[in-house]
Structure 1
Amino acid sequence: MLSGLALAATAHAQVDQENLDDYGTGIIKDYANLRSTDTIEWVWIAPGVKLKEHRYEVKPVDNLTSYDDEDMEDMIDSGLARTMKRISERNAAGTLLQITPAVYWAERGNANKLWVPYSGGHLAQAGVGLELVIIDDTGKEVAKFRHSGREGYQLRDAAEEVIDDLRKYISAH
């Protein structure tokens, strides 16, 4: 049985229902095994899988939000594809994995939020939340990511930040 402290740490590490209620769900079917890290909000990688050793094919982004923002979608489609191509080029012999990306949340920059005490500068920035599901050639899930970021006042800027965080994580793991 887990002690109170261990239980609290475990509960904190999972995607909580409040987050899913506030920001919505995406393409991930089961959030139970996702864990937070220092750099990515929530991630799960199958035991034994080293993401940095694979090649990648990226499917077009699925925008699940009400925003019709071509710049954001282009940044995710082209930025994620370029990023994963660079990783793939270092791993010519690696197994091909397929990434399905989806935007589950987006919020345009809003200068009116600058006046919110203690966090207005952050909340005024544009925000984008992205989920990635990575599968192998048999259709088995080998990794799942749920990550968001705030940057600049355009959704494109926030999307670029999220892609950069994911690139760093995948390149290191």
Structure 2
Amino acid sequence: MGRQDNKESLVRAAMEAVDRAAFVADEWKWAAGEDRPLPIGFGQTVSQPYTVARMLELLGQGEKVLEVGTGSGWQTAVLARLFKQVYSIEKIPELAKRARIKIYELGIKNVRIKIGDGKKGWDKYALYDGIIVAADAQEIPPKLLEQLADGGRMVIPVRGEMLKIEKHGNFVFVPLV
């Protein structure tokens, strides 16, 4: 089994262990197994499983991860199976509250969620082995780059393009594709 196959199987196992239906409203539970985004209120969606899987494969594993955009908490719960500690920021207070409750109900202990501006990151717990951004950005937020550990990876959609950024010392690289 190759390295990529191993990453894919770890991500698949983590995703299968977290029931997406638990993170959507009752009227959408029937569609939770489908590969499409689902509404979670406030003009937001829980991402489609394929997108989450691809982003998580690019991100890899590690000690600490920062998630920008908690949303429903589903991806947060999946990250909790791939990282020892998950720090997640949500801009919409009601979504953060719902996600905290669901994470607590599921007995997940390695997640912290705060309400705030994700572009600023979470200085208190930096540096992060991984940073994953759940919403399209116009540019790469400099504060997030500052909070990425040496050897760390950031997966972020920028103007519709999925980017994986690796930090090496004072150098930051976006792979040429």
* TM-score, normalising length: structure 1: 0.27
Larger Rg: 1
Q: Relative contact order, CA 8 A, sep 6+: which one is greater?
A: 1
Q: TM-score, normalised by structure 2?
A: 0.27
**Higher strand residue share:** 2
